[in-house]
Amino acid sequence: MIRISDDSPIPIYQQIIDAMRREILAGVFAPDSRLPSIRELAIELKVNPNTVAKAYQEMASEGAIYFKRGQGAYVTAQSADDLLKQAKAEMAKHILEIIAIARSLGLNGAQVKKIFETLLEQQEEK
């Protein structure tokens, strides 16, 4: 199930994209399997169909899914592979940000690593 946060700064259609990406990666939706229809998902998420359509459209233009006319949306075959690369790129971005902050604090790599490990442990306990 997908949870949409209405008061998040992240646009709803982006939240849908993120959620679908994760489900595809997790294997919930196998390659060439059918995704929920725009209308179905819109009702389930209590969101306007246009918003879901925008999310699907975006994923289609990225090549992660494709449409069969009159039949709905399907997962692209190599979708999971591409998504994995994208996910890694995402993580790299965040690490870049962390490094930038660390530098402004005058921290070196070893210190950054330590902070990361500490936070990682804290998060994992939850």
How distant is the alpha carbon of residue 60 from its chain centre?
14
Asked if 11 is part of the footprint of DNA (rule: CB under 7 A), the reply reads: yes
Interface with DNA, residue 114, by CB under 7 A: no
Residues 52-81 that bind DNA (CB under 7 A): 53-54, 56-57, 60, 67, 69-73
Distance separating alpha carbons of residues 22 and 1, to the nearest angstrom: 11
Site map (CB under 8 A) of a copy of itself, residues 23-62, x = contact: --xx----------------------------------x-
Q: How far apart are CA 98 and CA 81, in angstroms?
A: 26
3 is a contact residue toward a copy of itself (CB under 8 A): no
86 near DNA, judged by CB under 7 A: no
If the CB atoms of residues 82 and 112 are measured against a copy of itself, the closer one turns out to be: 112
Which of 29, 58, 34, 56 has its CA nearest to residue 45?
Answer: 56
Cα separation, 104 vs 85, in Å, equals 29
Cα separation, 119 vs 80, whole angstroms:
29
- For residues 93 to 122, the per-residue mask of contacts with a copy of itself, x marking binding by CB under 8 A and - elsewhere, is -xxxxxx-xx-xxx--x--xx-xxx-xxx-
E strands in 1-126: 65-68, 72-75
Closest to 19 (Cα-Cα) out of 6, 43, 1, 44: 1
Residues within the interface to a copy of itself (CB under 8 A):
6-7, 11-12, 21-22, 25-26, 61, 66, 68-69, 84, 87-88, 90-92, 94-99, 101-102, 104-106, 109, 112-113, 115-117, 119-121, 123-124
